[in-house]
Protein backbone atom coordinates (compact mmCIF):
# COMPACT_ATOMS: atom_id res chain seq x y z
CA UNK A 1 0.00 0.00 0.00
CA UNK A 2 1.37 3.39 -0.95
CA UNK A 3 1.23 6.28 1.49
CA UNK A 4 0.37 9.13 -0.92
CA UNK A 5 -3.39 8.64 -0.97
CA UNK A 6 -3.70 6.13 1.85
CA UNK A 7 -5.36 8.39 4.38
CA UNK A 8 -7.90 9.65 1.83
CA UNK A 9 -8.77 6.10 0.84
CA UNK A 10 -9.08 4.99 4.45
CA UNK A 11 -11.58 7.77 5.09
CA UNK A 12 -13.56 6.71 2.02
CA UNK A 13 -13.61 3.14 3.32
CA UNK A 14 -14.95 4.02 6.76
CA UNK A 15 -16.37 1.09 8.75
CA UNK A 16 -20.15 0.86 8.59
CA UNK A 17 -22.49 0.62 11.60
CA UNK A 18 -22.37 -2.92 13.08
CA UNK A 19 -19.75 -3.99 10.52
CA UNK A 20 -17.36 -6.76 11.55
CA UNK A 21 -13.70 -5.76 11.67
CA UNK A 22 -12.87 -8.54 9.20
CA UNK A 23 -15.48 -7.18 6.81
CA UNK A 24 -13.83 -3.76 6.88
CA UNK A 25 -10.36 -5.28 6.43
CA UNK A 26 -11.66 -7.23 3.44
CA UNK A 27 -13.07 -4.06 1.89
CA UNK A 28 -9.62 -2.52 2.29
CA UNK A 29 -8.11 -5.50 0.47
CA UNK A 30 -10.57 -5.09 -2.40
CA UNK A 31 -10.22 -1.31 -2.53
CA UNK A 32 -6.43 -1.40 -2.61
CA UNK A 33 -6.14 -4.65 -4.63
CA UNK A 34 -3.94 -5.76 -1.75
CA UNK A 35 -3.50 -8.99 0.20
CA UNK A 36 -4.68 -9.32 3.81
CA UNK A 37 -1.01 -9.50 4.81
CA UNK A 38 -0.28 -6.22 3.01
CA UNK A 39 -3.21 -4.44 4.65
CA UNK A 40 -2.33 -5.73 8.12
CA UNK A 41 1.30 -4.70 7.67
CA UNK A 42 0.25 -1.16 6.73
CA UNK A 43 -2.06 -0.94 9.74
CA UNK A 44 0.55 -2.45 12.03
CA UNK A 45 -1.64 -5.32 13.23
CA UNK A 46 -1.96 -9.03 12.59
CA UNK A 47 -5.14 -10.26 10.91
CA UNK A 48 -5.41 -12.82 13.70
CA UNK A 49 -5.69 -10.00 16.24
CA UNK A 50 -8.74 -8.59 14.49
CA UNK A 51 -11.00 -11.59 14.02
CA UNK A 52 -14.27 -11.17 15.89
CA UNK A 53 -13.23 -13.92 18.30
CA UNK A 54 -10.28 -11.84 19.50
CA UNK A 55 -10.54 -8.11 18.89
CA UNK A 56 -7.89 -6.76 21.23
CA UNK A 57 -7.78 -3.21 22.55
CA UNK A 58 -4.15 -3.01 21.46
CA UNK A 59 -4.88 -3.99 17.84
CA UNK A 60 -7.80 -1.58 17.54
CA UNK A 61 -5.74 1.21 19.10
CA UNK A 62 -3.09 0.70 16.41
CA UNK A 63 -5.73 0.83 13.67
CA UNK A 64 -7.16 4.04 15.12
CA UNK A 65 -3.68 5.56 15.28
CA UNK A 66 -3.08 4.92 11.56
CA UNK A 67 -6.57 5.74 10.28
CA UNK A 68 -7.42 8.61 12.65
CA UNK A 69 -10.92 7.14 12.98
CA UNK A 70 -13.16 7.94 15.93
CA UNK A 71 -12.20 5.81 18.94
CA UNK A 72 -15.70 4.28 19.14
CA UNK A 73 -15.73 3.04 15.55
CA UNK A 74 -15.09 -0.63 16.45
CA UNK A 75 -16.86 -0.50 19.79
CA UNK A 76 -19.32 -3.30 19.00
CA UNK A 77 -16.65 -5.79 17.96
CA UNK A 78 -14.55 -5.00 21.01
CA UNK A 79 -17.54 -5.34 23.32
CA UNK A 80 -18.70 -8.64 21.84
CA UNK A 81 -15.19 -10.10 21.94
CA UNK A 82 -14.81 -9.27 25.64
CA UNK A 83 -18.25 -10.63 26.52
CA UNK A 84 -17.58 -13.90 24.69
CA UNK A 85 -14.60 -14.40 27.00
CA UNK A 86 -16.64 -13.45 30.04
CA UNK A 87 -19.39 -15.89 29.10
CA UNK A 88 -16.99 -18.74 29.80
CA UNK A 89 -17.91 -20.92 26.83
CA UNK A 90 -15.68 -22.33 24.14
CA UNK A 91 -15.43 -20.39 20.91
CA UNK A 92 -16.83 -23.23 18.82
CA UNK A 93 -20.06 -21.35 18.23
CA UNK A 94 -18.14 -19.20 15.75
CA UNK A 95 -18.15 -20.55 12.20
CA UNK A 96 -14.59 -21.29 11.11
CA UNK A 97 -13.60 -21.89 7.48
CA UNK A 98 -11.63 -24.97 6.49
CA UNK A 99 -8.68 -22.81 5.47
CA UNK A 100 -6.52 -21.70 8.36
CA UNK A 101 -8.38 -19.64 10.97
CA UNK A 102 -10.61 -17.61 8.66
CA UNK A 103 -14.14 -17.03 9.90
CA UNK A 104 -17.15 -18.08 7.88
CA UNK A 105 -20.08 -15.70 7.66
CA UNK A 106 -23.77 -16.00 6.97
CA UNK A 107 -25.52 -13.01 5.43
CA UNK A 108 -28.89 -11.39 4.88
CA UNK A 109 -29.64 -10.94 1.15
CA UNK A 110 -31.75 -7.86 1.81
CA UNK A 111 -29.06 -6.16 3.88
CA UNK A 112 -26.54 -6.93 1.13
CA UNK A 113 -28.86 -5.48 -1.50
CA UNK A 114 -30.04 -2.34 0.29
CA UNK A 115 -27.02 -1.28 2.38
CA UNK A 116 -25.37 1.67 0.66
CA UNK A 117 -22.04 -0.10 1.19
CA UNK A 118 -22.37 -3.92 1.29
CA UNK A 119 -20.76 -5.31 4.42
CA UNK A 120 -20.89 -8.23 6.85
CA UNK A 121 -22.27 -7.59 10.32
CA UNK A 122 -20.61 -8.61 13.60
CA UNK A 123 -23.33 -11.14 14.47
CA UNK A 124 -23.18 -12.96 11.14
CA UNK A 125 -20.14 -15.02 12.18
CA UNK A 126 -21.96 -16.61 15.14
CA UNK A 127 -23.41 -20.04 14.46
CA UNK A 128 -26.38 -19.43 16.76
CA UNK A 129 -27.56 -16.31 14.87
CA UNK A 130 -29.73 -17.61 12.05
CA UNK A 131 -31.99 -14.72 11.06
CA UNK A 132 -31.84 -11.02 10.30
CA UNK A 133 -33.53 -9.01 13.01
CA UNK A 134 -34.23 -6.13 10.61
CA UNK A 135 -35.73 -8.10 7.72
CA UNK A 136 -37.07 -11.14 9.64
CA UNK A 137 -35.61 -13.61 7.16
CA UNK A 138 -33.23 -16.54 7.57
CA UNK A 139 -29.57 -15.77 6.98
CA UNK A 140 -28.05 -17.46 3.95
CA UNK A 141 -25.32 -19.98 4.73
CA UNK A 142 -23.63 -20.01 1.31
CA UNK A 143 -23.64 -18.43 -2.15
CA UNK A 144 -27.05 -19.14 -3.74
CA UNK A 145 -25.39 -19.72 -7.12
CA UNK A 146 -22.27 -21.86 -6.60
CA UNK A 147 -22.96 -22.90 -2.97
CA UNK A 148 -19.52 -21.70 -1.82
CA UNK A 149 -19.13 -20.65 1.80
CA UNK A 150 -18.33 -17.01 2.52
CA UNK A 151 -15.24 -16.41 4.61
CA UNK A 152 -13.25 -13.31 5.50
CA UNK A 153 -10.81 -11.82 4.75
CA UNK A 154 -10.80 -12.59 1.03
CA UNK A 155 -7.60 -14.07 -0.33
CA UNK A 156 -6.45 -11.84 -3.17
CA UNK A 157 -2.94 -13.20 -3.70
CA UNK A 158 -3.96 -14.80 -7.01
CA UNK A 159 -6.39 -12.11 -8.01
CA UNK A 160 -4.66 -11.48 -11.35
CA UNK A 161 -5.33 -15.09 -12.31
CA UNK A 162 -9.02 -14.98 -11.51
CA UNK A 163 -11.61 -14.92 -14.28
CA UNK A 164 -13.96 -12.76 -12.18
CA UNK A 165 -13.31 -9.34 -10.72
CA UNK A 166 -14.47 -8.74 -7.16
CA UNK A 167 -15.32 -5.09 -6.55
CA UNK A 168 -17.52 -5.29 -3.44
CA UNK A 169 -18.60 -7.64 -0.67
CA UNK A 170 -22.00 -8.32 -2.22
CA UNK A 171 -20.26 -10.62 -4.72
CA UNK A 172 -19.33 -14.24 -4.15
CA UNK A 173 -15.55 -14.44 -4.21
CA UNK A 174 -15.64 -17.78 -6.03
CA UNK A 175 -18.13 -17.18 -8.86
CA UNK A 176 -18.44 -13.38 -8.80
CA UNK A 177 -22.25 -13.39 -8.86
CA UNK A 178 -24.32 -11.25 -6.50
CA UNK A 179 -25.00 -12.92 -3.16
CA UNK A 180 -28.39 -11.25 -2.76
CA UNK A 181 -29.83 -12.68 -5.99
CA UNK A 182 -32.00 -15.17 -4.13
CA UNK A 183 -35.48 -15.26 -2.63
CA UNK A 184 -35.07 -14.98 1.17
CA UNK A 185 -37.05 -17.27 3.47
CA UNK A 186 -39.14 -15.24 5.90
CA UNK A 187 -39.13 -16.54 9.47
CA UNK A 188 -42.94 -16.62 9.55
CA UNK A 189 -42.85 -19.26 6.80
CA UNK A 190 -41.35 -21.77 9.25
CA UNK A 191 -44.68 -22.01 11.08
CA UNK A 192 -46.15 -23.85 8.09
CA UNK A 193 -43.79 -26.80 8.45
CA UNK A 194 -43.54 -29.65 11.00
CA UNK A 195 -41.83 -28.53 14.22
CA UNK A 196 -42.08 -24.97 12.98
CA UNK A 197 -42.83 -23.57 16.43
CA UNK A 198 -39.77 -25.36 17.82
CA UNK A 199 -37.59 -23.89 15.08
CA UNK A 200 -38.90 -20.39 15.75
CA UNK A 201 -38.06 -20.89 19.43
CA UNK A 202 -34.48 -21.76 18.47
CA UNK A 203 -34.28 -18.58 16.40
CA UNK A 204 -35.47 -16.48 19.32
CA UNK A 205 -33.03 -18.16 21.70
CA UNK A 206 -30.13 -17.44 19.37
CA UNK A 207 -31.02 -13.79 19.07
CA UNK A 208 -31.42 -13.54 22.85
CA UNK A 209 -27.86 -14.82 23.28
CA UNK A 210 -26.62 -12.26 20.76
CA UNK A 211 -28.42 -9.52 22.69
CA UNK A 212 -26.68 -10.64 25.88
CA UNK A 213 -23.30 -10.27 24.16
CA UNK A 214 -24.18 -6.71 23.19
CA UNK A 215 -25.73 -5.63 26.49
CA UNK A 216 -23.51 -7.63 28.85
CA UNK A 217 -26.36 -9.55 30.48
CA UNK A 218 -29.30 -11.75 29.56
CA UNK A 219 -32.93 -11.78 30.67
CA UNK A 220 -35.32 -14.60 31.45
CA UNK A 221 -38.39 -14.51 29.26
CA UNK A 222 -40.80 -15.47 32.04
CA UNK A 223 -39.89 -12.93 34.72
CA UNK A 224 -37.45 -10.57 33.02
CA UNK A 225 -34.81 -11.39 35.64
CA UNK A 226 -31.31 -10.37 34.63
CA UNK A 227 -28.89 -13.21 33.96
CA UNK A 228 -25.13 -12.90 34.22
CA UNK A 229 -23.02 -13.84 31.21
CA UNK A 230 -21.91 -16.94 33.13
CA UNK A 231 -25.55 -18.01 33.37
CA UNK A 232 -26.08 -17.37 29.67
CA UNK A 233 -22.98 -19.46 28.97
CA UNK A 234 -24.45 -22.34 30.98
CA UNK A 235 -27.64 -21.96 28.93
CA UNK A 236 -25.64 -22.33 25.72
CA UNK A 237 -23.92 -25.47 27.01
CA UNK A 238 -27.34 -27.11 27.37
CA UNK A 239 -27.67 -27.04 23.58
CA UNK A 240 -30.71 -24.79 23.51
CA UNK A 241 -29.46 -22.55 20.70
CA UNK A 242 -29.56 -23.11 16.91
CA UNK A 243 -25.91 -24.18 16.74
CA UNK A 244 -27.15 -27.68 17.69
CA UNK A 245 -30.12 -27.51 15.32
CA UNK A 246 -29.17 -28.30 11.73
CA UNK A 247 -32.46 -27.79 9.88
CA UNK A 248 -32.47 -23.98 9.92
CA UNK A 249 -31.13 -23.80 6.39
CA UNK A 250 -33.00 -21.51 3.98
CA UNK A 251 -32.25 -23.71 0.95
CA UNK A 252 -34.27 -26.53 2.54
CA UNK A 253 -37.35 -24.35 2.83
CA UNK A 254 -36.97 -22.92 -0.67
CA UNK A 255 -37.13 -26.47 -2.02
CA UNK A 256 -40.39 -27.06 -0.13
CA UNK A 257 -42.15 -24.00 -1.54
Q: What pLDDT does residue 90 have?
A: 65
- Average pLDDT estimate for 208-231: 91
Indicate if the pLDDT at residue 34 is higher than 90: no
Q: Coil, strand or helix: which one is 103? A: strand
The residues near 201 (Cβ < 8 Å, ≥ 6 apart) are none
Indicate if the pLDDT at residue 53 is higher than 80: no
Is 93 within 8 Å of 243 (Cβ atoms)?
yes
Indicate if the pLDDT at residue 98 is higher than 60: yes
Q: What pLDDT does residue 228 have?
A: 94
Ranking 101-115, 180-194, 211-225, 226-240 by mean pLDDT, the lowest is: 226-240
Q: Report pLDDT digits (tens) over 154-176.
A: 865 554 455 678 899 999 989 99
**Nearest 5 degrees, angle CA 25-CA 28-CA 98?**
45
Q: What pLDDT does residue 211 have?
A: 93
CA–CA dist 257, 251 (Å, integer): 10
Give 179's pLDDT tier (boundaries 50, 70, 90).
very high
CA–CA dist 200, 202 (Å, integer): 5
Q: What pLDDT does residue 8 have?
A: 54
Q: Coil, strand or helix: which one is 134? A: coil
Q: Coil, strand or helix: which one is 147? A: coil
Of the candidates 60, 120, 53, 59, the residue with the CA atom closest to the CA atom of residue 87: 53
Is 47 within 8 Å of 25 (Cβ atoms)?
yes
How many Cβ atoms are within 10 Å of 236's Cβ, its own excluded?
21
Maximum average pLDDT range among 73-82, 152-161, 246-255: 73-82
Indicate if the pLDDT at residue 239 is higher than 80: no
pTM comes to 0.89
Amino acid sequence: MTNSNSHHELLRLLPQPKEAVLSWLTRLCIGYAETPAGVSEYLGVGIGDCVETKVTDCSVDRILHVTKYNKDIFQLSRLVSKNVDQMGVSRNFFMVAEMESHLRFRFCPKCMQYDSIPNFKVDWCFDFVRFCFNHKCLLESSCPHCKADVYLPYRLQNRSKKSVEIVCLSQCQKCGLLLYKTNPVQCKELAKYPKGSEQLEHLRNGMAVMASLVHGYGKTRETGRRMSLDEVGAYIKKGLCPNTYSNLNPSIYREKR
